[in-house]
Chains A and B, each alone.
Chain A
Amino acid sequence: MIIGEAPLPSGPLGVDAVAMTMRFGDFVALDNVELKVRPGSFHALLGENGAGKSTLVKCIMGYYHPTEGDVLVGGREQAIGNPKDAHALGLGMVYQHFTLVPAMTVAENLVLARDDVPAVVNWAREKQELEAFLGRMPFKVPLNARVSDISAGERQKCEILKQLYLKRRFLILDEPTSVLTPGEADEVLGMLRAMVVDDGLTILMITHKFREVMAFADEVTILRRGKLAGHGKVADLTPDSMARMMIGAEELTLQPPRVGEVGDVRLELDKLNALDDAGAVAVHDVSLAVRGGEIVGIAGVSGNGQRQLVEVLAGQRQAESGAIRVIGDPYHATREEMRRHKMSLLPEEPLKNACVGGMSVADNIAFREFDRAPFASGGWWLNRAAFRSDAEKKIGLYKIKTRTPDTPISALSGGNVQRTVLARELGGEVEVLIAANPCFGLDFAAVAQIHAEIMAARNRGAAVLLVSEDLDELLELSDRLVVMFHGQFVYEARASEADLTDIGRHMAGH
Chain B
Amino acid sequence: MTSEVAGPAEAVAISPAADPGFLQRYGGTIEYILIPGAALVGALGVFGMFVALFGKSPLDLYFYMYQGAFGTWFSWQNTLTRAAPLILTALCTALPAQLGMVIIGGEGALLIGALASTSAALTMQSAPPLAVQLAMAATGMIAGGLWIMLSGGLRQYRGVNETISSLLLVYIALAILNHLVEGLMRDPTSLNKPSTREIGAANMLGSIPGTDVHWGLVFGIVAAVASYILIYHTVFGFAARVAGGNIRAARIVGLGVGKLIMTVCFLAGASAGLAGMVEVAAVQGRTNANLAAGYGFTGILVAFLARQNPLAVIPVAILLGGIGASGGLLQRRLGLPDASVQVLQGIIFVFVLASDALYGRIGFLKGKS
Contact = CB atoms under 8 A, between A and B. Distances in A.
B14 A405 contact: yes
- Which one of B3, B234, B249, B255 has the highest number of Cβ atoms from chain A below 10 Å of its Cβ? B249
Interface in A341-372: 345, 347, 352-359, 363, 367-368, 370-371
A379 interface: yes
Interface in A371-402: 371, 376, 379-382, 392, 395-396, 399-402
Contact of A396 (B12, B236, B246, B253): B12
B254 A333 contact: yes
Given A333-B254, A367-B242, A445-B4, A356 B249 contact: yes
A445 B6 CA distance: 8
B18 interface: yes
Contact of B254 (A336, A358, A392): A336
A338 B253 contact: yes
Chain B CB within 10 Å, residue with most, of A338, A355, A376: A355
Interface in B8-22: 10-14, 18, 20
Nearest to B247: A316
Given A381-B233, A382-B234, A404-B14, A357 B246 contact: yes
B193 interface: no
B251 A352 contact: no
Nearest to B233: A382
Contacts of B1: 26-27, 443-445
Nearest to B24: A403
A347 B238 contact: no
Q: Is the interface of A mostly helix, strand, loop or mixed?
A: loop
Contacts, number: 108
A26 B235 contact: no
Nearest to B369: A411
A335 B4 contact: no
Contacts of B6: 399, 401, 445
Interface in B285-311: none
A315 interface: yes
Given A26-B4, A356-B241, A392 B252 contact: no
Nearest to A369: B253
Interface string B241-265: 1100110110111111000000000
A316 B251 contact: yes
Interface string A287-330: 00000000000000000000000000011100000000000000
A334 interface: yes
A240 interface: no
Contacts of A338: 253-254
A199 interface: no
Nearest to B28: A408
A379 B235 CA distance: 7
A450 interface: no
Contacts of A336: 254
Q: Name the residue among A27, A352, A403 with the largest chain B CB count within 10 angstroms.
A: A403
B251 A392 contact: no
B167 interface: no
Given A26-B1, A396-B12, A443-B4, A345 B252 contact: yes
A88 interface: no
Contacts of B237: 382
B27 to A, nearest CB: 12
Given A315-B251, A336-B254, A376 B3 contact: no
A315 B252 contact: yes
How many chain B residues sit at the interface, stated as a range, is 20 to 34
B108 to A, nearest CB: 30
A316 B246 CA distance: 11
A333 B251 contact: yes
A446 interface: yes
A399 B256 contact: no
Contacts of B242: 356, 359, 367
Contacts of B255: 335
A407 to B, nearest CB: 9
B236 A380 contact: yes
A415 interface: yes
A390 B20 CA distance: 23
Contact of A403 (B2, B13, B239, B249): B13
Interface in B78-102: none
B4 A415 contact: yes
B251 A396 contact: no
Contacts of A345: 252
B5 interface: yes
Contacts of A353: 248-249, 252
A396 B13 contact: yes
A380 B20 CA distance: 33
Given A396-B13, A402-B13, A445-B5, A371 B254 contact: no
A276 interface: no
A337 B254 CA distance: 8
A345 to B, nearest CB: 5
Residue from A339, A401, A413 with most neighbouring chain B CB atoms (10 Å): A401
A145 to B, nearest CB: 30
B6 to A, nearest CB: 5
A415 B11 CA distance: 14
Interface string A50-66: 00000000000000000
A371 B239 contact: yes
Contacts of B248: 316, 352-354
Given A316-B248, A352-B248, A354-B249, A399 B238 contact: no
A416 to B, nearest CB: 9
Nearest to A364: B249
A395 B13 contact: yes
A445 to B, nearest CB: 5
Nearest to B244: A356
B98 to A, nearest CB: 11
Contacts of A404: 13-14
Contacts of B20: 403
B79 to A, nearest CB: 33
A357 B13 contact: no
Contact of A380 (B3, B5, B234, B251): B234
Contacts of B249: 353-356, 367
B252 A376 contact: no
A355 B249 CA distance: 5
Contacts of A402: 13
A382 B235 contact: yes
Contacts of A444: 1, 4-5
B233 A403 contact: no
B4 A334 contact: no
Given A345-B252, A392-B14, A396-B13, A357 B245 contact: yes
A356 B245 contact: yes
Given A356-B245, A382-B235, A314 B252 contact: yes
Nearest to A347: B252
A405 B4 CA distance: 18
A385 B234 CA distance: 14
8 contacts: A334-B256, A337-B254, A354-B252, A356-B249, A371-B235, A379-B235, A401-B6, A403-B20
Interchain residue pairs A-B with the least CB separation, the first 8 = A335-B254, A356-B245, A399-B11, A315-B251, A445-B5, A338-B254, A445-B4, A314-B252
Given A315-B254, A444-B4, 12 more contacts: A26-B2, A316-B252, A333-B251, A337-B254, A352-B248, A355-B246, A356-B245, A358-B245, A382-B238, A403-B20, A405-B14, A415-B4
